Amino acid sequence: MMQHARAPVQNTDVQPHPARGQPRISTDNPFILVRGHAEQDIDTTASRRTRRGDFLRAATWAITERLHPKAQDTTLRVAKDLAARLNADGHVAYCRDAMWRRLGLSRRTLERHIAVLRELGLLAWVVHGSRTNTRPAGSGDWAGTATIYAAVVPRAWDHALGHRVSGHGYHARHIGFTDRGRELAIADARRRARPANRRDTPSWRTNHPRRTAEMGRKNNNTGAPPPRTRRGTARTHRPDVPAPYRATPQQAAHAVSVAAWIRPRVPWTQAEPLRRLAYALRPWIAAGQAPAEIAAELMAWRVPRRPASPAAVITVRWHEETRQPSVGYETPGPAEEVASVPPNQAFRTAAAALRTRLRPQHPPSEPELPAFVIRDRILASLAEAQRAWRARAPEQCHTFAQWEAVCDARERVPW
């Protein structure tokens, strides 16, 4: 025999039917209880680490196979309570004082079943709890060290279910199945996927409509019944999306990217989520406007500093710009203007006196710039800000991600 080979432990003296209170040990799958505390740590255990599902299945298997004379349904209750509190690493705090009250057990009973799980190879110590005070001396408070367990499964359970395991001990890994283990895994997956509430049999209740027989023909048998519809309430269809807001998945993703570019540059839109803002901007994007042009147009609007719903403001503005005259309303032409009475001389004199008195207090304001001038200025300021952003040095960036974004923007700039 090679020096590194490990011979399986065989026990040929075990009876096929053990006496009452004795563990069942199979000759083809030997199992030895882990009695010593020195072999119940994560550094010395022969069991491998696992998660909640396999831990509960292994505990159920060990109790069903009567591998421990003191394992019973209460042991499974304790295992389920521990499994419900496992963290992502498969570790759980013991919390004895809260656990025995939660399960309705005595402290001694709880400690006995925890010891049974350790001897079955289902629990391993990560941290040994102690009554040593961890608070500073003189603080007046006391707090001991918590006991932390790791959920593990014994090698006998992997052998019984046909698992292929790589490594040994706590850090061993489940890497596959044997032929028999693959069959058992498929059967277990089908059993768990089977719905718990099965449909009623047709002999007890009929849920599909039946066609009545037509007696006028030679044969009174009806044809095949209509196909069954899917059970459940009818799905309500969403209302039709207006034409300016319809978009394919690619167009919707492009609208989100445009909204992500516009939102940090238009202050009053920064409180709106990207998807809602992109949906409101779809008409402008569908019209072929560039993101800079849309941002310039939004900045030229007279909007409150922080509107409650920026997307609603954009949607209302679009409908106002594209509104058509209502049905039945006709705009009067020049020939249909209503005749009005011209003002008399006394009204003209009073209006002139009022203008003369108010002119010094309210000097004439500067003429308002045309909209295209304001738009060009905003586009120029956005372009200047973009150039300044690309010209930043590494020390001017707060994070490495910002510096990478600056470098990517420089590479995309045409020569």
pLDDT in tens, 26-74: 434 467 888 888 888 989 999 999 988 889 999 999 999 889 999 999 9
pLDDT at 309 over 80: yes
For the ranges 9-23, 116-130, 169-183, the lowest mean pLDDT is seen at: 9-23
Q: What is the pLDDT of residue 340?
A: 55
3-state secondary structure of 386: helix
Interval 219-259: pLDDT, tens: 545 445 555 555 544 554 555 677 778 888 888 888 998 99
* Choice between 370 and 299, residue whose per-residue pLDDT is larger: 299
> With DSSP H G I counted as helix, E B as strand and the rest as coil, what are the percentages for the chain, rounded to 5?
45, 5, 50
Pure H helices in 72-137: 73-84, 96-103, 107-119
Residue 179, burial from CB neighbour count under 10 angstroms (0-12, 13-18, 19+): exposed
**What is the pLDDT confidence band of residue 301, given thresholds at 50, 70 and 90?**
confident
**Considering only CA atoms, which of 171, 180, 175 is closest in space to residue 152?**
171
Residue 23 has pLDDT above 50, yes or no: no
Distances in Å between the Cα of 198 and the Cα atoms of 194, 201, 203, 258, 337 are 9, 9, 14, 50, 78
Tally of CA atoms within 13 A in the half-sphere of 41 that contains its CB: 7
Query: In DSSP terms, which residues pair with 72 in a beta bridge?
Result: none
β-bridge pairing 148-153 and 48-49: antiparallel
Mean of the pLDDT values across residues 102-120? 92
pLDDT at 9 over 80: no
Residue burial 337-369, b: 16+ Cβ < 10 Å; e: rest: eeeeeeeeeeeeeeeeeeeeeeeeeeeeeeeee
**What would the mean pLDDT of 92-110 be, rounded to a whole number?**
90
What tokens does 247 get?
């978009």
Burial state string for 384-400 with b = 16 or more CB within 10 A and e = fewer than 16: eeeeeeeeeeeeeeeee
Whole-angstrom Cα distance, residue 329 to residue 252? Answer: 37
Q: What percent of the chain has pLDDT over 90?
A: 20
User: What is residue 209's predicted lDDT score, i.e. its pLDDT?
Assistant: 56
